[in-house]
Amino acid sequence: MNGNSENIHKIRFGIAPINWNNDDLPELGSGYSLERILSEMNQAGYEGTELGNKFPNEVSALSELLNTFNLKLASSWHSTYFVLNEQENELKNVEEKVSFLKEANAEVINIAECSGSVHSDINKSLAAKPILSDPDWELLIGSLNIAGEICNDYGIRLAYHHHMGTCIQTNEEIKRLLKFTDPNYVNLCVDTGHLYYAGIDPVEFIENNLERIVHVHFKDVRKEEFNKYDSSSDSFLKTILSGIFTVPGDGCIDFSSIVKILQQNHYNGWIIVEAEQDPDKADPLHYAISSRNYLNSISIN
């Protein structure tokens, strides 16, 4: 029991700035200052966060700001375009980002291949998501393995972020990515909301892929909004505006089972709360606190 408790304490809960200000829809939460965002993260009881569009791009300024609010930088999203662009330039961009993250004492980079992605275009339906050809797959897998080697050199773990509207969205696509990438270099940032949205059972998926999960995003889904969405006509951002996502404990995903699985298997990374909501309709501090209280109630202390 004592050994299990020691492992449980290694799980750290953070919250993403997207709860206050959305990078893909910057008008959502544009009036929130970074200082207010960080202050409310701290007030709600979180230990860390991820990079957002309001954050300083200079490490010393970033570190000073995070220290002021007793927060750590867990990770950062990074878009790659290996299928469309020159591999050398894309790898250079990865190295620049992981160098920054290393200096900022982060541990993970959340990479998503965004060639042809429709997730950030409000006028493109999810039905228009890119589909990779076999040569595209070969190129992407090889590039990610090299990127993972670069990340390892900096002591940063490459956690691939599957995402609606991108080329890695479905269960088959995620499985293929995991099957052919080298686990020494490429692992997974698992996002509960994007799993559910893609028709994948988050509990079952996490249980079956524990050995590849190095970073976790906790996002809940409002089932009534999910049931309304039409992939043939609705864009990802349109469903965001309709309120499809919310924080853990406010939707239909079984987080209690997920937390139990992670704790029993000694997961020792970050769990980052996300909820891409309109802050004018869903007060970020209220939802941040309610989510933290919910997570406390289902975690073993």
**CATH assignment at residue 104:** 3.20.20.150
DSSP-assigned beta bridge partners for residue 112: 79
This prediction has a pTM of 0.95
Average pLDDT score over the chain: 95
2: confidence class by pLDDT, cuts 50, 70, 90: very low
**End-to-end alpha carbon distance in the chain:** 12
Tokens of 140: 């992407």
pLDDT in tens, 81-109: 999 999 999 999 999 999 999 999 999 99
pLDDT digits (tens, 9 = 90+) for 259-294: 999 999 999 999 999 999 999 999 999 999 999 999
Domain that holds residue 224: 2-298
Instruction: Please give the tally of structural domains in the chain.
Output: 1
pLDDT category at 3 given cuts 50, 70, 90 is: very low
Average pLDDT of span 123-139:
97
* Sign of the alpha-carbon torsion through 17, 19, 24, 26: negative
Q: What is the pLDDT of residue 10?
A: 74
Which whole number is the average pLDDT over 154-167? 98
Could you give the residue ranges of the DSSP H alpha helices within the chain?
A: 2-8, 34-43, 59-68, 87-103, 134-153, 171-180, 192-197, 202-208, 223-226, 236-242, 255-264, 284-298
Answer whether 129's CB lies under 8 Å from 118's CB.
yes
Residue 4 has pLDDT above 60, yes or no: no
One-letter amino acid of 145: N
Q: Please write the tens of the pLDDT for every residue from 206-254.
A: 999 999 999 999 999 999 999 999 989 999 999 999 999 999 999 999 9
Three-class DSSP category at 34? helix
Residue 220's pLDDT is what?
98
Check pLDDT > 70 for residue 5: no
Give CA–CA dist 17/7, Å, rounded: 27
pLDDT number for residue 231: 87
Q: 9-66, pLDDT tens digit by residue?
A: 479 999 999 999 998 888 888 899 999 999 999 999 999 999 999 999 999 999 999 9
Provide the 8-state DSSP code for 55: S
Alpha carbon separation from 152 to 104, 183, 190, 256, 262 (Å, rounded): 16, 12, 19, 32, 24
> How would residue 300 be classed by pLDDT, with cut points 50, 70 and 90?
low
